[in-house]
Amino acid sequence: MTITEKILAAHAGRDRVEPGELISVKVDMVLGNDITAPVAIDQFRKAGAKTVFDPEKIALVPDHFTPNKDIKSAEQCAKLREFAKEQSIRHYFEVGRMGIEHCLLPEQGLVRPGDVVIGADSHTCTYGALGAFATGVGSTDMAAAMILGEVWLKVPESMKFLYHGKLQRWVYGKDLILYTIGDIGVDGALYKAMEFCGESIENLSMDSRFTMANMAVEAGAKNGIVEPDKVTLEYVRGRVKGDYRVFRSDPDASYSAVYEYDAGKIEPQVAFPHLPDNVRPISEAGEVRIHQVVIGSCTNGRMEDLRAAAEVLRGRKVHSGVRLLVFPGTQQIYLEAMREGLLEIFVEAGGAVSTPTCGPCLGGHMGVLAEGERAIATTNRNFVGRMGHPKSEVYLSNAAVAAASAVTGRIASPEEL
């Protein structure tokens, strides 16, 4: 079996599962945010439930429209707050202690290798970087899981993605996943498990691995996953509590497709509007003027990203026609960036640094685009109207390219500076 099949079999109480089977699996963590959890709470009550299956295995993170942008968002968050108190849910993270959910849960040690995690947010697949099965679900599935501690799903087929070679300067996990999505398309892994491996992956940081797993859903995948290795185990050591189990794919496991890439030849990548698979290497980006740069999100709001951006921006100024917005992924990342002097670099360059929030990524607040404006962002989606006006444009890149673009006023490689 593959690693995904082994994890699902173990949580279904079975020796073996096959792709296509419909199974019920026990969950180790159920996640909701300020957009999706209020609907789940309503369904929880509609079902007549009184208590959650395990208050230690539920996390509620208000991060999308927080700090509250209006009365409705405040009421959404109030519903989470009251439910968490009523159900004695300890893993509730309010403003000042919260973070962008998919940065926060791994940091807090709430996801372990071998876990099954569901979240009412499509980018829950981020946790596959830890060797967990993690996938997004709807709010009604979240409600059922809060009641029963189980989720019903179809076992996905697995696809293997092998990356060889040493990465070029300014190339990160974001570029590998953008290149891959550009190759297979936004439906190229539809309801499949994307398994990332090869020596390039073994040499990636956890931050870059989180980025790759995060964007598996942009290829239509059910989940993205990396087998745990010494990098993974070093990350979870002293962070997670309780025992966990490391699963690995068998040498003779079956895959629906296998892709191999020479990662050493991959340049920094840019996804042009209006799909994540409309990808071009930075050398072919052309002359694209921009108005806004967003560095952050659950995809690229971690320390590796902030350090890369700061390295590019140190001693430079943001172009007079550009707004640079920086969103650290969690309060801890914010603190670490502050202690390293990164925030000072951003502010001195002419950037604005915000508390952790998903706001600009989904065009919610704190960075909404006007008609005709273009943004380059380290986020994960560039659909029509994703960050604001339907006639605005979003380009996706890694943090170093985004920072270089903030300086030049157009999409640019750090090598140009």
Domain count, the chain: 2
Ranges of H-type helices in 215-262: 230-236
Residues of the chain below pLDDT 50: none
193 and 325 within one domain: no
188 and 52 within one domain: yes
150 and 296 within one domain: no
CATH number at residue 304: 3.30.499.10
89 and 44 within one domain: yes
284 and 186 within one domain: no
CA-based R_g, the chain, Å: 20
Question: Is residue 125 a contact partner of residue 214, using CB atoms and an 8 Å limit?
Answer: yes
The mean pLDDT of the chain is 96
Largest CA distance in the chain: 61
318 and 241 within one domain: no
Question: Which domain covers residue 167, as residue numbers?
Answer: 3-261
Q: Which of 219, 238, 261 is the last residue of a domain?
A: 261
Closest by Cα among 301, 352, 286 to 331: 301
47 and 126 within one domain: yes
pLDDT value at residue 70: 93
Q: Which of 238, 261, 284 is the last residue of a domain?
A: 261
The sign of the torsion formed by the CA atoms of 80, 82, 84, 87 equals: negative
Q: Which amino acid is at 170?
A: W
Q: Which of 229, 244, 261 is the last residue of a domain?
A: 261
pLDDT in tens, 82-106: 999 999 999 999 888 889 999 999 9
pLDDT value at residue 253: 97
CA dist 255 and 66 (Å) reads: 41
Global confidence as pTM: 0.95
Residues near 115 by Cβ (< 8 Å), separated by ≥ 6? Answer: 7, 28, 29, 127, 130, 132, 133, 134, 244
The sign of the torsion formed by the CA atoms of 307, 343, 178, 110 equals: positive
314 and 209 within one domain: no
